A and B are shown apart, each in its own frame.
Chain A
Amino acid sequence: MRYLPKSPADRKAMLEAIGVRSVDDLFAAIPAEYRLNRDLNIPRQMAESEIVDFFRQRSRENGEDYTSFLGAGVYFHYRPVIIDSLISRGEFLTAYTPYQAEISQGTLQSIFEFQTMICELTGMEVANASMYDGSTAAAEAVMMAVRLTGRRSVVVARSLHPEYREVLATYATHQGMPLAIADFANDGRLNLAELEKSITPETACLIIQSPNFFGTIEDVAAIAEIAHKHGAMLVVSIAEMVSLGIVEPPRQADIIAMEAQSFGVPMGFGGPYCGVIATREKYVRQMPGRLVGQTVDKQGRRGFVLTLATREQHIRRERATSNICTNQALIALMVNIFMTVYGKVGLKELAKQNLAKTAYAAAQFAKFGKVLFAAAPRFNEFVVQTSEDPSAINSRLLGHKMIGGLPLKKFYPELGHAALWCCTELTTRTAIDTAAGLVAESERSVRASRDEDVAEVAR
């Protein structure tokens, strides 16, 4: 086996040194009746070339050359080449969690920089080293608010990503945390009057997303005021980090739970991604996940260590803030490099291009279909309502090697024939025009057949 660095002679010499006759003697502790006395029923060893062929074939079956208008929590942005060059260095790729600080300063310093940049972008005071993803970060942020307030119930915005809501519901089930839902208004933003009514003296926090699932930017300041008036915390989920280049961060929030996939992480059919939690300094001891802190060595030189570990499972066991151990360090490094490449000016320009493409696309779609929630500001997503079922339109788009917006019927049936469309800096005007043209065609043919029906009835 090509990954194993021993010759038969090595194995023989080692067995002799140990003082056993065969390797099976080393497995004697396993009761004979349970030992597997056959080969596992899996395919034979494959050559590297065969493995590459296998996955190239899977890639071809996986829509590798389609133009996509999908967003909904996963965004297709350009990934600078140096991200993969740098994260492929074995010293990053094949290192463990930096528990031995003296030989992990590379990982530790890069996490410290990551935490700093997340704070700069979100307006928060502290950020952790990462969580699994945006959905679990949101659930953990809510549990953190429950611990901090000593209250148990939670108000969840219906415009929070539907799958994040599902994850939160799973986490909440056995924590005795009742969840109430706050609906959105006609402009796609949270209905503030209804929101206030849903808060009770038992409400630990309110969790919203901004830009929300529809791409609409919430009035965070007003929402925070309502939450705080009732002694509840505000947790804001951010699924599209590129928005922070041009959209004010939710500074009024108490906890921000993010999905940083947008920042240089491949879409990868859903993962691995990079969740992050950021908050105020005074709440740090209730924050889950690893934290890197600055300190000095015996000679007074600057260095970095994992710190405040008394929050964590390996010290605190059943009284830990979370059971999280392994996080998403390598993905956080991708995010870190992405943020460094674009930096203070590039992130803003990048976000502006997203804004411009989306404004253009929404205008094109509005000519024939109906763009919902047009009155409120949005970032790079918008909802288009059509006369025809968007799934049918999407089937025709597939013929043009295009993936249309996400049909919303499954998550928001009351929106009818609606789909969530997304444009990034990578969406070309030509693609937008083609897609908008096909939607227009659909509208024209539906209208034409309606006119025929009307004419039929008139006759």
Chain B
Amino acid sequence: MKSTIRKATPQVNQNEGLIFEKSSPGKAAWKLPPLDVPEVDAAKLLGEAERKDLGNMPEVSEIEIIRHFTRLSTWNYAIDLGMYPLGSCTMKYNPRVNEAVARVEGIANGHPYQPEKISQGALYIIKTLSEQLIEITGMDAITLQPAAGAHGEMTGLLMVRAYHQSKGNARKKILIPDSAHGTNPATAAMVNYAVENLKSDSRGMVDFAALAAQMNEDVAALMLTNPNTLGVFEQDIHKIADILHAKGGLLYMDGANMNALVGKVRPGDFGVDVMHLNLHKTFSTPHGGGGPGSGPVAIKKALEPFLPTPVVITKPDGTLAFNYDRPQSVGRVRAFYGNFGMFVRALAYIQANGPDGLRQTTEDAVLNANYIRKGLMGSYDLPYSTPTMHEVVFSDRLQMKKGVRTMDIAKRLIDYGFHPYTTAFPLIVPGALMIEPTESESKEEMDLFIDAMKSIAEEVEEDPQTVLNAPHSTRVSRLDETAAARKPVLRWKPAS
């Protein structure tokens, strides 16, 4: 084989069964202190409601638990190990001070219903982060309550609906470009709006003529990702906003790609009426294998009456409080106040950066994407030549001739020590390779990535089977997903 894999070396790792397979009666990892109140008879107190048996819950010791999860952890790839260029996911470094401050006693152990008098610290964090996100987005008001991006989309569209309703007509549909994330149409459906597709033009941007033709007084809003999922900034964004506003519609911005904009341009300045942020993307809170996220929604003044309850206010005596008296509110979208622990982390991230750091971060993210674009041109097909912001989308058109698809290249990249890019998205690019390096990658790491991608492109020409059979270095080879879906095994059961 011609390839030289420079970044990674296969290494022995430990086998590990399911925790249930290690369990045996009498082992324990817990110890309770002696009871300082009288023992009770559960049967007497609970009657028929008393539970007698906890089924197949495991019984294991502490060292086994440590080894179990440590071994499992070594089977994962992670940002801490290397570049994780998942397009649209913004896999950036997760600063450790964020984790430390989220665990300070009064922050980690605050109860959401403790009296406001002794919640001033938490309220101050909510207020400060809100103000800073408003400044960063150029919007007028914000709610931090939504638990993730898609939840933020729902909250945003609820406010859009309430806004139109207050004008006497909730309207019927939401326009969504064909390049959008799947959450956008799924959200519109949850808020009972019909989805109307909007096609992209040859530059990968909103087709202007199509928008003008489709826009009418039935349209509540356009949901637009900017930069869009091709990593392309919608240059005519102000004209798009004008078309919508002229017919009373609103411009919703999916802020998934805000990492391309922070400190350089503000959505509130280019006509956006409502947008969500992903604190777990742009603002460095860890993805944790799929969450928790946090999806604040920032809005223009006209939508403020509809914010979810409660909102934080400053009382005449200068103390902070929750205000529930919001008659036009869309209501609550989650119990309590949202994923507060993520607010703490995001605020710590903004503090560490300051205005110059945030701007430099954005510049580096865009610089990195363009460096990769330049480095891979020629080796991979670039379907849209429009300038790239924070991510670049190639296609597998050249490799397809040898029967190799984007997912195969992705799997081979694993052998080279990288996490794959996003495959097969956006849908407007058949066989897409969607690459977002973020600002967290050094020049050295990206040079290794570019070398790896080029080496794979050569392998495709000379030895496509190696790519088609990849990965070769992982604990398991490609898994049978069809079998998993056809006869789902969704839990362990004891051998009978």
Contacts and interface: CB of A to CB of B under 8 A. Distances in A.
Closest 4 CB pairs of A and B: A330-B288, A90-B80, A270-B336, A64-B106
Contact of B443 (A10, A96, A296, A377): A10
A170 B80 contact: no
A45 B359 CA distance: 12
Interface stretch (A11-19, A149-157, A193-201, A445-453): A11-19
Given A95-B288, A343-B23, A120 B57 contact: yes
Contact of A326 (B20, B93, B149, B269): B149
Given A4-B364, A343-B29, 9 more contacts: A10-B442, A35-B265, A96-B419, A102-B479, A170-B158, A301-B477, A316-B182, A323-B151, A356-B39
Given A26-B370, A48-B352, A102 B30 contact: no
A115, A120, A312 — which one has the most chain B CB atoms within 10 A of its CB?
Answer: A120
A337 interface: yes
Interface string A247-261: 111000000000000
A23 B367 contact: yes
10 contacts: A34-B270, A44-B354, A61-B106, A66-B114, A90-B79, A167-B333, A268-B107, A307-B485, A343-B23, A343-B59
A56 B424 CA distance: 45
B124 A58 contact: yes
Given A28-B387, A64-B105, A347-B57, A317 B186 contact: yes
A103 interface: yes
A84 B96 CA distance: 13
B291 A102 contact: no
B479 A305 contact: yes
B385 interface: no
Interface string A351-370: 01101110110000000000
Contacts of B65: 82, 86, 337, 340-341
B313 to A, nearest CB: 17
B448 interface: no
B111 interface: yes
Given A29-B389, A66-B118, A356-B35, A113 B19 contact: yes
Contact of B288 (A333, A340, A343): A333
Nearest to A265: B341
B408 interface: no
A123 B371 CA distance: 54
B311 interface: no
Nearest to B153: A323
A407 to B, nearest CB: 9
Given A62-B110, A89-B73, A51 B51 contact: no
A54 B351 contact: yes
Contacts of A347: 54, 57
Contacts of B74: 91, 106
A185 interface: no
Given A42-B132, A66-B118, A429-B36, A329 B270 contact: no
Contacts of B492: 112-113, 116, 294
A126 interface: yes
A213 B148 CA distance: 26
A235 B102 CA distance: 34
Given A110-B69, A270-B337, A1 B357 contact: yes
Interface string B79-95: 11100101001010111
B379 interface: no
Contacts of B109: 64, 76, 266-268
B104 A133 contact: no
Contacts of A215: none
A42 B119 contact: no
Interface string A424-451: 0100111010000000000000000000
A291 B168 CA distance: 42
Contacts of A3: 93, 95, 352-353, 357, 361, 439-440
A44 B351 CA distance: 7
Contacts of B476: 101-102, 105, 297, 301, 303
A325 B149 contact: yes
A325 to B, nearest CB: 5
B106 A58 contact: yes
Interface stretch (B41-49, B242-250, B393-401, B454-462): B41-49
A168 B457 CA distance: 51
Contact of A91 (B19, B81, B278): B81
A188 interface: no
B464 interface: no
A120 B56 contact: yes
A297 B38 contact: no
A307 B76 contact: no
Nearest to A29: B233
A73 B335 contact: yes
Contacts of A107: 72, 76, 289-290
A248 B104 contact: no
Contacts of A458: none
B312 interface: no
A406 interface: yes
Contacts of B154: 323
B66 A267 contact: no
A125 B488 CA distance: 12
A55 B2 CA distance: 53
A65 B335 CA distance: 25
Contacts of A360: 37-38
Nearest to B100: A52
A30 to B, nearest CB: 5
A171 B235 CA distance: 35
B183 A63 contact: no
A101 B55 CA distance: 30
A135 B76 contact: no
Contacts of B374: 17-19
Given A57-B121, A360-B37, A42 B54 contact: no
Given A90-B80, A313-B182, A121 B289 contact: no
Interface stretch (B188-196, B208-216, B297-305): B188-196
B51 A61 contact: no
A217 B440 CA distance: 51
B54 A63 contact: no
A325 B101 contact: no
A367 to B, nearest CB: 15
A60 B121 contact: yes
A92 B288 contact: yes
A175 to B, nearest CB: 6
A298 to B, nearest CB: 4
Nearest to A293: B484
B383 interface: no
Contacts of A92: 69, 73, 76, 78, 288-289
A73 B336 CA distance: 10
A148 interface: no
Contacts of A109: 16, 18, 72, 75
Contact of B114 (A34, A70, A341): A70
B288 A86 contact: no
B161 interface: yes
B441 A317 contact: no
B19 A340 contact: yes
B157 to A, nearest CB: 9
A126 to B, nearest CB: 5
Contact of A356 (B37, B359, B370, B480): B37
A93 B286 contact: yes
B290 A68 contact: no
Given A247-B49, A333-B289, A341 B29 contact: yes
Contact of A135 (B117, B334, B339, B445): B334
Contacts of A27: 264-265, 366, 389
Interface in B337-355: 337-342, 344, 348, 350-355
B432 interface: no
Nearest to A166: B332
Interface in A296-327: 296-299, 301, 303-305, 307-310, 312-320, 322-327
